Amino acid sequence: MLTRLDPELKRTALAAGGPHAVVIGAGLGGLASAMRLGAKGYRVTVLDRLETPGGRGASLSQNGHRFDLGPTIVTVPQLFRELWRACGRDFDSDVDLRALDPFYEIRWPDGSRFTAQQDDAAMKEEVARLSPGDVDGYLRFLRDGEQRYHFGFEDLGRRPMHRLLDLIRVLPKFGMMRADRSVYALAARRVRDERLRMALSFHPLFIGGDPFHVTSMYALVCHLEKSFGVHYAIGGVAAIARAMARVVTDQGGTIRQQAEVDEILLSRGRAAGVRLGSGELIGADIVVSNADAGHTYDHLLRNVPRRRWTARRLRRSRWSMGLFVWYFGTRGTRGMWSDVGHHTILNGARYRGLVEDIFIRGRLTDDMSLYVHRPSVTDPGVAPEGDDTFYALSPVPHLGHADPVDWQEMAEPYRRKVQTFLEDQLLPGLGDRISASAVFTPETFRDRYLSPHGAGFSIEPRILQSAYFRPHNISEEVPGLYLSGAGTHPGAGLPGVIASAEVLEKVVPEPAEVTPR
């Protein structure tokens, strides 16, 4: 296939000597992969279509406000520290990470609240305040989470899962832990109060999973929070992305922004380079795609016959939900809304029904639940003095459902609904204070990140779309091609994509073993 391009690919691969790794995408998963490959001895080139590194973890500036576009909560910070150590560097010298306590507040329409925090006794009091009879069940749920953490995160989540044997070996443990049960079902077995069930089971929504269908392995998130805390990087996740990009360039790697890859090229059946949208050819000894797995197979490998990740299979996969995100600044509000902290989850009246409308029925409804980010509480530099920077995130259907939402038409009416909900429930007087405003819809995710169906977090992390069943880190379709990031093992979220680079490092050949073609 495409052998007539061989001489040009060979010339560019060997130009500077040594094995050359091309990484498509400078998301956190792509940057972590580049760091690990650079530390291993590869000569690395990262190619990304956007203006700045970080992918979903980049930021946007408007009228003196700096908005984190995507991730805001950093859990399991030791994953970053280990990544830096693998490159002979010290994470804490490069990034100012602050532990937050309380972690976040959850509010319900009846006025009740739940504050997640570090201290065990305070957490028990919170549970008892909502439902005195549920304290023992809550403690059992925490023990469930801890068990699942040791198996699902430390073991399974950090090692390759591409061989059938890998799967067969873990099946008994999956069975023992009733991984077939949903995280909501596990919470419902442990506590009676519906609000607590929500508070213990909503976390998969942050990585694109429907809590009523994703595996109870995700109970491990409560354990992650309790054991390792909830953190914020001063400067936002974009500051982490910039620090990662610096490590890559210090290692001698190259990062090219505004460089969109149009196709992965093969030579003698192996990945041998890429062609950019501009027509430029870049040769490589290995290619790593941090682009969405769906985009990688459906678009970048469109001319290659595929056995597993065919267009049909990708179409029939269940995709994570879409996201509507309203980024807004407010003037003169630092003394206002004093009970609104850094992270708030603002529930509407429905939990299960709303999740089903979003994930199953694919319907945009009038009611909503929001995650509200107010980083100016921790990092005043994100807004002009006396002002605030916010974002409000509403999970919405992705664009692959029958009769998808036309966001060209709906973005502004829906933004107004979000504003009204916030004015009624959290930020009275908001309408008179807005000083900056921008909106991302699933169409933005489709066009900006090239996410299939505009999904927020790639393929949904249901059990039959996880581990061995997810697109593998070592491509099933083309030798010499590897995957990292949200769409591959172990999955979405910062811990997931950073761990995917660790898995990648274990499956790529040692540079000395790479035979220059």
Ligand X SMILES: Cc1cc2nc3c(=O)[nH]c(=O)nc-3n(C[C@H](O)[C@H](O)[C@H](O)COP(=O)(O)OP(=O)(O)OC[C@H]3O[C@@H](n4cnc5c(N)ncnc54)[C@H](O)[C@@H]3O)c2cc1C
How many chain residues interact with ligand X (CB under 6 A)? Answer: 37
CA distance 486 to 457: 6
Should residue 38 be labelled a site residue for ligand X when binding is judged by CB under 6 A?
Answer: no
Measured at CB, which residue is nearest to ligand X? Answer: 27
The residues in 358-397 that bind ligand X, with binding defined as CB under 6 A, are 393
Q: Rounded to the nearest whole angstrom, what is the least distance from the CB of residue 55 to ligand X in the complex?
A: 2
Per CB under 6 A, the list member of 23, 45, 46, 70 interacting with ligand X is 70
Should residue 71 be labelled a site residue for ligand X when binding is judged by CB under 6 A?
Answer: yes
Amino acid at 155: D
| Tokens 């319907």 sit on residue | 363
- The stretch near ligand X (CB under 6 A) out of 163-171, 190-198, 288-296, 409-417 is 288-296
CA 468 vs. chain centroid, Å, equals 19
Q: Do strands 286-289 and 343-346 pair parallel, antiparallel, or not at all (unpaired)?
A: unpaired
Per CB under 6 A, the list member of 13, 21, 22, 26 interacting with ligand X is 26
Find, among 416, 335, 379, the residue nearest to 65 by Cα: 379
Per CB under 6 A, the list member of 19, 27, 395, 490 interacting with ligand X is 27
CA distance 506 to 163: 13
Per CB under 6 A, the list member of 19, 30, 235, 452 interacting with ligand X is 30
Should residue 221 be labelled a site residue for ligand X when binding is judged by CB under 6 A?
Answer: no
Please provide the DSSP assignment of 127-172 as one string: HHHH-GGGHHHHHHHHHHHHHHIIIIIIIGGGS---SHHHHHHHHH
Whether residue 375 has a cis bond before it, omega within 30° of 0: no
Q: Rounded to the nearest whole angstrom, what is the least distance from the CB of residue 495 to ligand X in the complex?
A: 6
- The stretch near ligand X (CB under 6 A) out of 24-32, 103-111, 302-310, 399-407 is 24-32
Should residue 37 be labelled a site residue for ligand X when binding is judged by CB under 6 A?
Answer: no
Should residue 48 be labelled a site residue for ligand X when binding is judged by CB under 6 A?
Answer: yes
Should residue 24 be labelled a site residue for ligand X when binding is judged by CB under 6 A?
Answer: yes
What share of residues in the chain are helix, strand, coil (percent, to 5)? 45, 20, 35
Q: Rounded to the nearest whole angstrom, what is the least distance from the CB of residue 28 to ligand X in the complex?
A: 5
Should residue 450 be labelled a site residue for ligand X when binding is judged by CB under 6 A?
Answer: yes
Q: What letters, b where the CB count within 10 A reaches 16 and e where it falls short, cover 393-430?
A: bbbbbbbbbeebbebeebbeebbebbbebbeebbbeeb
Per CB under 6 A, the list member of 43, 56, 446, 453 interacting with ligand X is 56
Should residue 492 be labelled a site residue for ligand X when binding is judged by CB under 6 A?
Answer: yes
Should residue 326 be labelled a site residue for ligand X when binding is judged by CB under 6 A?
Answer: no
- The stretch near ligand X (CB under 6 A) out of 9-17, 23-31, 129-137, 222-230 is 23-31
Q: Rounded to the nearest whole angstrom, what is the least distance from the CB of residue 516 to ligand X in the complex?
A: 25
Should residue 235 be labelled a site residue for ligand X when binding is judged by CB under 6 A?
Answer: no
Should residue 493 be labelled a site residue for ligand X when binding is judged by CB under 6 A?
Answer: yes
What six digits make up the tokens of 349? 């009246």
Should residue 49 be labelled a site residue for ligand X when binding is judged by CB under 6 A?
Answer: yes
What six digits make up the tokens of 510? 């040692």
Whether residue 102 has a cis bond before it, omega within 30° of 0: yes
Please provide the DSSP assignment of 179-196 as one string: TTSBHHHHHHHH---HHH
Q: Rounded to the nearest whole angstrom, what is the least distance from the CB of residue 261 to ligand X in the complex?
A: 4
Should residue 470 be labelled a site residue for ligand X when binding is judged by CB under 6 A?
Answer: no
Q: Which helix (H) or strand (E) holds 408?
A: helix 407-425
Going by the DSSP 8-state scheme, the letter that residue 300 receives in this structure is I
CA distance 283 to 31: 19
Per CB under 6 A, the list member of 19, 57, 322, 362 interacting with ligand X is 57
**Interface ranges with ligand X (CB under 6 A):** 24-30, 47-50, 55-57, 70-73, 206, 260-261, 290-291, 295, 323, 325, 393, 449-450, 456-457, 485-486, 492-494, 497
